[in-house]
Homo-oligomer: A and B are copies of this chain.
Amino acid sequence: MTGVAMPAGFRAAGISAGIKDSGGPDLALVVNDGPEFTAAGVFTRNVIKAAPVLWSQEVLRHNSLRAVVLNSGGANAATGPGGFQDTHATAEKVAAVLDAGAADVAVCSTGLIGERLPMDAVLSGVDTAAAALDTGTEAGLAAATAVMTTDSHPKQTHHTHPGGWSVGGLAKGAGMLAPDLATMLSVLTTDAVVDAGTADRALRAATRVTFDRLDVDGGTSTNDTVLLLASGASGHTPSEADFTALLTEAAAELVRLLRSDSEGATKEVDIVVRGAASERDAVAVGRTVAEDNLVKTALFGSDPNWGRIAMALGRADATIAPETLAISINGVILYAAGTTAASRDDADLSGREIEIVIDLGVGAESATILTTDLSHAYVEENSAYST
């Protein structure tokens, strides 16, 4: 009992439209049947934005969505004005079958950059998907499956509030991990009654501490999109704090699923930065360490190599004082007060889960960045299979 079509007022579908050469599922539809159509979105900060991102940013100015159509098998990025017309035509088609306006339809695409989509397949696929729309777990699963690229399994969530409303969701990808196949996409649904301002603030608050803190390889794709659709169908109006909290729980679950399925990952690593002068500093330090290849290869080798962590964080754009810095791995303080605090052999990194705690000792702010190691499988997936 999980997924985007669990909250009341939502239907979903995922079908094979023939966009992928493999013939696998490649087109998903998530439809909000109301009574309300509140929506919010956050998008990639990459200046090279795919056509569907430019489209969806534009339609979300109304803070309202009737549906989201998502395709795998092509990112529709770096495809020029023709690619934008393809996105527009896709939204028009979905609007026609739902008796809505194109401006009520967001579009998400994922796959190879620089290739136009096979529009005949996309447009006939919308008809097929519309006919398959349904509520419940199976429908959400079909949608979550149809957006997969090199994901090994679909990723879904559903969190229920005792107040009688819930949040569902799907997600695919992990940063730019997949070979050629860009993009992290996520759709979150809720049957809570949520106004546009609350939806926008809650989504930004939730993604700031979840999706924005997953950093596998520093990649920010041309297509990254997280959408929230609220149907109001439960009739319950939660407080903004309650809504934000449950939305954050759902997003956090999806992010952990994304990390776990990152290509080539053999370690799931939490980098906890505390004692920072600001949250921005904590995030900057965590991301710099998360993206450092020497740290990541040491983690792959199960090596508690705090020297590489110290090296990496020392180039972060943050307030850092060598004297107050402390570094722990899996509970063992290895560096403190400017020098070695324990033998590296005291820290056991043989398991899949690793926690690195970096205490900057200069303030009271903190942040946790989720990352993985850098393995042979990562290099293999991203080199051998790329053309």
Contact = CB atoms under 8 A, between A and B. Distances in A.
Contact of A219 (B113, B177, B294, B386): B294
Contact of A379 (B46, B303, B379): B379
B310 A176 contact: no
Interface string A172-187: 0000110010100000
Contacts of A198: none
A338 interface: yes
Interface of A: 45-49, 75, 77-83, 112-115, 176-177, 180, 182, 217-222, 291-294, 297-298, 300-301, 303, 305-308, 310-315, 320-322, 325, 335, 337-340, 344, 374-376, 378-380, 382-384, 386-387
Contacts of A379: 297, 300, 374-376, 378-379
A221 B339 CA distance: 16
Interface of A is mostly: loop
Copies in the assembly, this chain: 2
Contacts of A176: 294, 308, 311
A194 to B, nearest CB: 31
Contacts of A335: 78, 114
Nearest to A304: B387
Contacts of A45: 315
Nearest to A315: B220
Contacts of A222: 310-311, 314
Nearest to A80: B339
B386 A311 contact: no
B305 A182 contact: no
Given A293-B374, A294-B176, A310-B113, A46 B315 contact: yes
